[in-house]
Amino acid sequence: MTHAGWCLGLAVCSAALSAGAEVALGAVQPGVEYGVVPLVARPGAGDGKLHVVRVDPALATLTLGLASEAGAMRTAAQWSAQLGLSVVINAGMFETDYRSNVGRLVHRQHVNQRVWKRSYQSVLVMDPDVEGVPRATLLDRDAPGFDEAIKPYRTVVQNLRLIKAPGESVWKPNGRKWSEAFVALDDRGRLLFCFTRTPFEMADLMARVLASGLGVVRAMHVEGGPEASLTVRGKGLTLDLAGSYETGFFARDDNPRQWEVPNVIGVRAVK
């Protein structure tokens, strides 16, 4: 089966958008769905689609893959094979040591990046040590109550914010565009791993995302250009997506492969 079949047909997705209903995605495993949402009919680069993996953290287990723990960078597909992950996306932009996340990153006892980055206001949290809180969620660092909300969580990934609650883009047009990988939170508490090879200015892309019917209330940037990646594995589904275009770095659409990256977010595969 090709990945197109997993969105239950673009006609279904388009009908859901026009009706204001939830976008229909196809099941990958318990708590994990995949599909595509059309963004541009005739893109100048890429396929004009937003590839979306919707994860219910109450049903699916999230984890991290880190070169600072595992000893080497890998492509998203290689991280999937190495760690037994059904879904892999970038964890964030990284420093020139090719190990450290730009924002704070702590994976249980392992500290990848100790320092909070002052200007980064999105924080993915997981692995709570108490009951009664979401197993994973996305927080706004400048929201009231953040310091209390983050306390139960042993895994923290801080990144550049794209959308703040309750669904407001924080980007302005700036003339720069790139292939994009981002992680979002919807209005039902589910996480969305999103990827588009088609380059957009972030103000334009986030406006389209907010109008898409996905119910996004928060979102954070995890990588752009040729390093942006998304891998999905399911029964009859093998998908390895790679970005390409980035203004000022890789201003072309001919990258044929996933690049190795040091840090990824993943969903454990159910056998």
Please state, in angstroms and rounded to a whole number, the distance separating the CA atoms of residues 51 and 24: 13
Average pLDDT value for residue range 146-161: 98
Residues 203, 169 contacting (CB under 8 angstroms):
yes
What pTM did the predictor assign?
0.93
Q: What is the mean pLDDT of residues 201-221?
A: 98
The DSSP bridge partners found for residue 208 are none
Note the pLDDT of residue 261. Answer: 98
Is the model's pLDDT at 22 over the cut of 90?
A: no
The token pair that represents 161 in the structure block: 């914010």
Domain boundaries, the chain: 3-268
pLDDT surpassing 50 at residue 245:
yes
Give, in order, the Cα–Cα distances in Å from 33 to each of 7, 54, 80, 213.
Answer: 9, 5, 17, 15
